């Protein structure tokens, strides 16, 4: 834990909806070493918006 990776990440432009909420899609590519760490914690943030945090378990990693 405590390790951060920034490579292998891409995201779409954010879209502000009429209800005031934003949406976007994001892809994080992990290599086999990163998947062996069991869990990956993803954080998404936008100015003046609460941070969204999601934990991805190794079972959710696709075959490399």
Residue 43 lies in a domain: yes
Confidence of residue 64 (pLDDT cuts 50, 70, 90): very low
* Tokens of residue 64, six digits: 């490399």
Domain boundaries, position 27: 9-60
What is the bridge-based pairing of β-strands 52-57 and 26-28?
unpaired
What number is the average pLDDT over the span 54-63?
70
Contacts of 43 (CB under 8 A, 6+ apart): 51, 52, 53
Residue 23 lies in a domain: yes
Residue 29 lies in a domain: yes
DSSP H or E segment with residue 32: helix 32-35
DSSP H or E segment with residue 42: strand 39-44
Q: What is the pLDDT of residues 9-53, one digit of tens each?
A: 666 777 889 998 878 777 777 777 777 777 777 777 777 878 888
Contact 46, 22 (CB under 8 A): yes
Overall number of domains in the chain: 1
Residue 3 lies in a domain: no
């Amino acid at each position: 834990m405590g390790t951060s990776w920034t490579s292998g990440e891409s995201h779409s432009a954010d879209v502000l909806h009429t209800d005031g909420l934003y949406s976007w899609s994001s892809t994080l590519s992990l290599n086999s070493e990163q998947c062996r760490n069991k869990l990956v914690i993803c954080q998404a943030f936008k100015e003046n918006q609460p941070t969204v945090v999601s934990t991805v378990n190794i079972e959710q990693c696709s075959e490399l």
